[in-house]
Amino acid sequence: MANKLISMFLHELSRKISQNWPVKVDGEEYEKLVRERFNTQCPYCSCDLTNTESVIEHLDGMNRYRAGLHVPGNVLVACRRCNSEKRRDDSLRVLSLARSGWESFLSHDGTRCATPCRTCRYWESIWNDGTERRLRLSENLQRIRSFRSAFPEFEQVIPSLMETHPALLRKLYSDCQTFAEMEIKSLLERVDPVPNPQ
């Protein structure tokens, strides 16, 4: 529930922040831009999305740790598999391999984790050869970086968001948890478990 609230807040904030940007995230122009830039391929594993199940993907995840927004430059289309594999890094409070969730996801080239983790093994299952794997991961990292730089409005707001949002979202999350716990407790106190005899 607290996570749902965070996502609602980030969606509202996204609308507010991007309302005057030249490209609209839900418009045809943006969709075309993404398709052309990534050749209808998954931005992470490069699989062809024409015949693969694909989903809307947020580079910076829309959760309390990554504080991502639904705005041009952060929204892409990815294969469902990568989208769910990426959640592992996205749900970590502190990232060790990179500053952002998507960079972290693409950093598991098998050499940087003390012992290869599940994400390292995921990439290994896609590119078995270590040299090819490192090359493809770094190419995809670069492609996404250059895609993001095509949205200067987005790049401009990132530093201040990174500065203020995590603390704000942590507060929203814990306030929501506290509120829910209190409400449940008070409702439980009002409910009489033993029906009154007539």
User: Using CB under 5 A as the criterion, which residues of the chain lie in contact with Zn ion when the complex forms?
Assistant: 42, 44-45, 79, 82, 108, 113, 117, 119-120
Two tokens, residue 138: 């770094």
Taking the complex as a whole, the smallest distance from the CB of residue 99 to Zn ion amounts, in Å, to: 16
Rg of the chain, C-alpha, whole Å:
20
55 vs 161, which CB is nearer to Zn ion? 55
Q: Which is nearer to Zn ion, 32 or 118 (CB)?
A: 118
Q: Which is nearer to Zn ion, 6 or 75 (CB)?
A: 75
Query: What separation, in Å, do the N-terminal and C-terminal C-alpha atoms of the chain show?
Result: 39
CB of 103 to Zn ion, least distance (A): 13
Query: What distance in Å separates the CA atoms of residue 61 and residue 58, rounded to the nearest whole number?
Result: 5
Measured from the CB of residue 128, what is the shortest distance to Zn ion in angstroms?
Answer: 16
Question: Quick one: 14 or 119, whose CB is closer to Zn ion?
Answer: 119
Q: How buried is residue 197: exposed, middle or buried, by Cβ count under 10 Å (0-12/13-18/19+)?
A: exposed
**Which residues, other chains included, contact 101 with Cβ-Cβ below 8 Å and sequence gap of 6+?**
59, 60, 61, 65, 66, 68, 86, 89, 90, 95
Report yes or no: 120 and 128 within 8 Å, Cβ to Cβ.
no
Q: Which is nearer to Zn ion, 25 or 77 (CB)?
A: 77
Shortest spacing between CB 143 and Zn ion, in angstroms: 13
Question: Minimum CB separation from Zn ion for residue 44, in Å?
Answer: 5
